[in-house]
Structure 1
Amino acid sequence: MSAFRLAAAQFPVSEPRTWDEVETLLSRWVAEAADEGARLLVFPEYAAMSLAALFDEATRDDLNLQVIALQTLRERYVDLHRRLARTHGVYLLAGSFPWTLDDGRTVNRAWLCAPTGNADFQDKQIMTRFERESWQISGAPTLKVFDTAHGRIAVNLCYDCEFPLLARAQAEAGAELILVPSCTDTPAGYHRVRVGCQARALENQCIVVQSPLVGEAPWSAAVDVNVGAAGVFGPPDRGFPDDGVLALGTMNRAQWLYADIDLAAVAAVRRDGQVFNHRHWPEQVTVPAARLHPL
């Protein structure tokens, strides 16, 4: 099915006191989007960090203790999203989770859940300064493309979309739609991700979806301030808006952003666009090395 409705969450950071509150909030959000006809739902990067509010004050105050404590909830968290995807018959990208591996490293992992209840994950590839220097989150260099009933979908977690070769590798593996869950604490950070999304849509002549975490959580050292707007972007070419913006949310407001898309438009623009960015990408390997010239 090439045409369908997607929903990108401008999802609010929260301070739940019980697991029931977590489940109620997510169930309400998913039901609302499904009732509006969305078949693919995207939640933001690090949306799972609200779960740290469930722990005692000492854990809430320590980033490393939060990560350790969150491991006790991770299977429950994924199972909830799998159940919601199955119940509502949707594909659902869960808010990413700091996931500790058997070797002791912790990665930033986003699970894509299918209507069947199956799930697979994409780990973030390139860490920001905060993740590296303050949090010791590691990259996990494995890129995936998910073959779904709604086309071939890739995931770039936030900062990843600012590096063109990651999305390009996924596009060459067949990706038509790239999901970009994000978490940024300044307008500049938000715009860096948005510019990355639009650049990736241009280069690969595909559709890119940004879903940001929004709101404030003064209790959290990880997601205390969150700014951004959801967006759905395509190449500024035939079959797409002149600026490539298919939909754009209201800055910092908790909301779903909906867009009706047709991936046949991706195939069409790659086949007969005004330009052929996707097709002409390999020609870059013939570009000679630049040399420094005194002037």
Structure 2
Amino acid sequence: MTICAAIQMASGPQVNANLLEAEKQIADAAKAGAKLVALPENFAIMGMNEYDKVQVREVDGAGPIQDFLATVAQKYQVWVVGGTIPMAAKADNKVRATCLVYNDKGERVARYDKVHLFDVSVPDSAEQYRESDSVEAGEESCVIDSPFGRMGISVCYDLRFPEFFRPMTKKGLDIIVIPSAFTAKTGAAHWEILLRARAIENLCYVIAPNQGGFHVNGRQTFGHSMIVDPWGVVLDCYKTGPGFVSAEVDKSRLDKMRSAFPVLEHRRFFCE
């Protein structure tokens, strides 16, 4: 049994200020006993426009945000799922929305580039988003070994695509981590429903750190960071503003549940 935490922020355009807030929350979560800490999408920067992040993008393996993640993981002896950071893309005017995972020794153990990009007009709203204008999509999913179980990494809009997660179950998926920046309107409509659905249908834990609050750029995000168990029960939820949720992830309980309720073994050809 391990305590895991999902951190909630209301990030702004200043990277250094965001990193200070992130470290404060990581320190508090570690003090509360967390061994895995997940940050939200865009934790290091939510700029005044979509291209501000291009100005601070980092090359793979070097940069102040990557150094920060390695340092805090080692300092607080926790595994860190690093939300997303802007990484170099093929195009000069774009980034990869990259989630990096570090172990408790500060060693990088995984990289995932966000696959599904948020290009939508929100119904009954003036809100429009064109993430693909400044972000280059990734091509591969990511499932890694960890002391807490097999962990799948995804980001925000990925949550809406159940078929994206199904192949992960073939790799022994135990936990899905979903760093996010769900808007206030879409979050109120769908956030909890989608998180609980992904937990139930994959019979796994879901750890979902979200941006939550009003941002300097005028955007409002939904918050309600939460941890959901394999039965769809919300174990902890933090509604708005900076903070974190934490809960126990119990691999032995998960194994017993899957043995007694073998949904994943009952899939047929149309699920492949």
**1:190-229 equivalences in 2 (<5 Å):** 190-218=188-216, 220=217, 224-229=219-224
Can you list the C-alpha shifts for 1:189-219, whole angstroms capped at 9, x where unaligned? Answer: 354233222111111111111111012123x
- Report the equivalent of 2:125: none
Say which SS state the counterpart of residue 182 (structure 1) adopts. Answer: coil
| Deviations 1:29-55, CA, capped at 9 Å, x for gaps | 1111111100011111111224x4xxx
Structure 1 residue 138 corresponds to structure 2 residue 136: yes
Shift of 1:107: 2.1
Structure 1 residue 81 and structure 2 residue 79: aligned? no
| 1:257-286 residue CA offsets vs partner (Å, 9 max, x unmatched) | 11012011221111112xx32111235359
Corresponding residue for residue 98 of structure 2: 109
Q: Which residue of 2 aligns with 1:255?
A: 243
With normalisation by structure 1, the TM-score equals 0.80
Q: Name the TM-score, length of structure 2 as normaliser.
A: 0.86
- Pair 1:121 & 2:117 matched: no
Unaligned runs of 5+ in 1: 53-59, 237-243, 287-295
Matched AA of 2:53: V
Aligned residue number for residue 282 of structure 1: 268
RMSD: 2.4
**C-alpha distance 177-259 of structure 1, shift in aligned 2 (>3 A):** same
Match of 2:257 among 244, 269, 285: 269
Once residues 68 and 6 of structure 2 are traced to their aligned partners in structure 1, the CA distance between those partners, rounded to angstroms, is: 19
Counterpart residue type for residue 260 of structure 2: D
Q: Is the 8 A contact 2:236 2:247 kept in 1?
A: no
Identity %: 21
Does 2:41 align with 1:41? no
Moved >4 Å (runs of 4+): none
Structure whose CA Rg is larger: 1
Consecutive unaligned residues of structure 2, counting only runs of 5 or more, are 121-128
Q: How many residues align?
A: 260
SS in 2 for 1:194: helix
Q: Where is the helix percentage greater, Structure 1 or Structure 2?
A: 1
Instruction: Check 1:216–1:285 CA distance in 2 against 1; reply closer, same or farther (3 A cut).
Output: closer
Shift of 1:139: 1.6
Tell whether the 8 Å contact from 2:89 to 2:136 is kept in structure 1 after alignment: no
